[in-house]
């Protein structure tokens, strides 16, 4: 009954949406952004069908909705990537039309994209000023540029060294650089597209602290997400979009629960990542012993630094072993060493009782290792290829994707249609290029490909990263089903809820070593966090 009570205020709002504008005007709020009745049509469809959005100045406003609900279309309208067919955009009380993103930037609206656009071989300040360099047409005023970037970073609490190379920075710091880029161009209203999708919990906390600092400095932030806990923890107001329409506006997030929001987003029940009962069998599928892996870029003659140090782990049939850790603590190296993409410096990997330490990636895959890579666009897909060819990737030598010497397009298409159906991949057909799909749908295709090809073990990194609540449930269900049938899964995830909910056993990786083995039944997120940051060391495996 408590849940019902908490939803009540929302329901009240929903019952009288017409009343809302009047109430806002009554309170005389200064709106940084007001979108009114935005309609955006694409050939044959309406992507935004009367969306309303009101963002108060100096607030963090979250927009939530499933993949494909129309969030991105709306944001593109707002920063000038395209024009709405109907409706109005009002910035700080003045009605505006944006023909290009330049017009939006001129009005102080800047966009921070989910996928970073930074030059690795340039420094932080160089990236920030790139395209808007101070100085004359022939000479860059480096001193001025650097000073301005430093000042901007300090004033807004975005801690990053202006002289560091982008290539040396972690994801969280790169994101700060992206934010600095937008601020440097004079943005007062920042749109952040799923900024936490690539961050680990600690980085998320840092980001949120930065956002609050920015707001305190007078900025307005529009925050697109589908991670409900995060939205609730940071947002001052929330707008929920479903199927191109605004379905709810929450003025006070403290009155709602994640479950309420999820219901609004999907219109169905919120799934939880829980596995019931143990299905762990005796058979050891994967046996990693004393595995060490060197870091990249260890020069000739230098003592190789180890990214992974004497790691021991086992995955049994029917078992999900979770690996928790802050990104960059050796997870990538572990994945790549297990798949044979990266050379090992020492130790051994056995699969189904056979030593595969020196075997090729192809042999490993053919022996039954499924792989969901960390970076789907870099390692999991060929963006210019159609979906059916992407579905064959990694399985190109086996049925139904090929027959002997030849590839089998019909078989591959048939398989792809299954994957599309079972994993709810939103796509017009299996013949479109992978790049035409949203990130979440690309991920669903990869998960479908790896789970439907009957692997014996699945090496899965962030299997539900960037996919929405409904599809997340489908992926979790599929992983649980496969586990019951005897699939072993090594799960690396930044989503602690997912790790705790799905894993039979939880290992914590820190600085390339397994520092703790925990029971997911009894551990809580705070405790896990302290192991992940190295604050605690404990029951090492």
Sites of contact with another protein (CB under 8 A): 42-47, 49, 66, 68-70, 73, 242-244, 267, 339, 341, 360-366, 371, 373, 378-385, 389, 392-397, 402, 405-407, 426-428, 432-433, 435-438, 441
- CA-closest candidate to residue 392, choices 359, 340, 434, 335: 434
Helices (H), 429-495: 439-451, 469-484
Using only C-alpha atoms, the chain has a radius of gyration, in whole angstroms, of: 24
Q: Is 122 exposed, middle or buried (0-12, 13-18, 19+ CB in 10 A)?
A: middle
Could you tell me the smallest distance in angstroms from the CB atom of residue 121 to another protein? 18
Angle at 445 between CA 442 and CA 451, to 5 degrees: 140
Residue 434 CB, nearest approach to another protein (Å) = 10
Least Å distance, CB 226 to another protein, is: 14
Record the tokens describing residue 335, joined without a space. Answer: 């994945």
Q: Long-range contacts for 136-141 (Cβ within 8 Å, ≥24 apart)?
A: none
- Nearer CB in complex with another protein: 274/410: 410
For another protein, give the closer residue by CB, 73 or 443.
73
CA distances from 344 to 308, 321, 337, 459, 520 (A): 9, 21, 6, 17, 30
DSSP structure string for 230-269: HHHHH-SEEEEEETTEEEEEES-GGG--HHHHHHHHHSSP
CB nearer to another protein: give 46 or 165: 46
Q: Which is nearer to another protein, 73 or 239 (CB)?
A: 73
Nearer to another protein, 67 or 225 (CB): 67
Sign of CA dihedral 279, 285, 288, 294: negative
107, with CB counted inside 10 A (0-12, 13-18, 19+), is buried
* Closest distance of CB 382 from another protein, Å: 4
48 versus 52: smaller Cβ distance to another protein: 48
493, two tokens: 């995830």
Please state the closest distance from residue 364 (CB atom) to another protein, in A. 7
CB 106 within 8 A of CB 100: no
Q: With residue 287 as reference, give the H or E element that holds it.
A: strand 284-294
Using the minimum distance from each CB to another protein, give the nearer residue, 440 or 520.
440
What's the closest the beta carbon of residue 351 comes to another protein, in angstroms? 14
Dihedrals φ, ψ of 61, to 5°? Answer: -115, 120
Shortest Cβ 41–another protein spacing (Å): 8
Distance between CA 525 and CA 157 in Å, rounded? 27
CB 339, min distance to another protein, A: 7
| 202 vs 402 by CB, closer to another protein | 402
Please say which residue, 42 or 304, places its beta carbon nearer to another protein. Answer: 42
Smallest distance, another protein to C-beta of residue 427, A: 6
Residue among 221 and 265 whose Cβ is closer to another protein: 265
What whole-number distance in Å separates Cα of residue 439 and Cα of residue 421?
Answer: 17
How far is 454 from 484, CA to CA, in rounded Å? 13
Min separation Cβ 263 and another protein, Å: 13
Q: Which is nearer to another protein, 289 or 393 (CB)?
A: 393
Question: At closest approach, how far in Å is the CB of 486 from another protein?
Answer: 23
Judged by phi (left if over 0) then psi (alpha if -120 to 50, else beta), residue 118 lies in beta
Strand 109-112 versus strand 189-193 pairing type = parallel
């Amino acid at each position: 009954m408590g849940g019902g009570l908490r939803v009540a205020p929302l329901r009240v709002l929903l019952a009288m949406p017409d009343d809302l504008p009047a109430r806002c005007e009554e309170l005389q709020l200064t709106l940084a952004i007001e979108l009114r009745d935005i309609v955006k049509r694409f050939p044959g469809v309406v992507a935004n069908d009367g969306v309303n959005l009101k963002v108060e100045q100096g607030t963090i406003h979250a927009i939530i909705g499933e993949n494909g609900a129309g969030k991105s279309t709306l944001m593109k309208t707002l920063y000038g990537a395209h024009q709405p067919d109907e409706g109005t955009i009002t910035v700080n009380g003045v009605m505006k039309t944006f023909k290009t993103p330049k017009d939006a930037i001129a009005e102080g609206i800047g966009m921070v994209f989910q996928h970073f656009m930074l030059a690795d071989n340039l420094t932080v300040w160089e990236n920030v000023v790139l395209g808007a360099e101070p100085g004359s047409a022939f000479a860059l005023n480096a001193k001025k540029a650097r000073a301005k970037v430093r000042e901007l970073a300090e004033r807004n609490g975005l801690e990053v060294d202006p002289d560091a190379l982008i290539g040396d920075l972690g994801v969280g710091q790169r994101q700060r650089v992206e934010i600095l880029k937008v601020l440097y161009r004079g943005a007062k209203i920042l749109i952040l597209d799923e900024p936490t999708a690539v961050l680990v919990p600690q980085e998320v906390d840092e980001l949120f602290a930065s956002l609050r600092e920015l707001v305190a400095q007078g900025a307005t932030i529009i925050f697109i997400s589908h991670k409900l806990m995060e939205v609730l923890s940071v947002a001052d107001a929330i707008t929920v979009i479903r199927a191109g329409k605004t379905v709810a506006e929450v003025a006070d997030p403290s009155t709602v629960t994640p479950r309420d929001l999820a219901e609004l987003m999907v219109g169905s029940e919120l799934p939880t990542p829980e596995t019931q009962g143990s299905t762990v069998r005796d058979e050891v599928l994967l046996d990693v012993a004393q595995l060490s892996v060197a870091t990249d870029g260890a020069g000739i003659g230098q003592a190789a630094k180890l990214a992974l140090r004497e790691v021991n782990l086992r995955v049994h049939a029917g078992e999900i072993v979770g690996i928790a850790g802050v990104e960059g603590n050796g997870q990538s190296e572990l994945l790549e060493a297990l798949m044979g993409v990266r050379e090992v410096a020492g130790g051994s990997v056995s699969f189904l009782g056979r030593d595969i330490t020196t075997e090729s990636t192809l042999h490993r895959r053919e022996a039954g290792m499924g792989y969901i890579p960390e970076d789907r666009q870099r390692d999991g897909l060929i963006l210019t290829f159609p979906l059916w060819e992407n579905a064959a990737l990694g399985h190109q030598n086996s049925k139904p994707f090929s027959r002997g010497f030849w590839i089998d397009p019909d078989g591959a298409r048939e398989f792809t249609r299954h994957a599309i159906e079972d994993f709810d991949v939103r796509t017009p057909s299996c013949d479109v290029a992978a790049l035409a799909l949203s990130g979440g749908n690309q991920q669903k295709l990869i998960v479908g490909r790896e789970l439907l090809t009957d692997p014996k073990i699945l090496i899965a990194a962030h299997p539900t990263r960037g996919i929405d609540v409904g599809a997340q449930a489908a992926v979790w269900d599929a992983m649980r089903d496969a586990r019951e049938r005897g699939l072993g899964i090594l799960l690396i995830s930044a989503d602690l809820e997912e790790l705790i909910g799905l894993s039979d056993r939880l290992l914590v990786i820190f600085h390339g070593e397994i520092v703790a083995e925990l029971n997911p039944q009894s551990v809580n997120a705070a405790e896990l966090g302290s192991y992940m940051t190295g604050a605690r060391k404990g029951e090492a495996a």
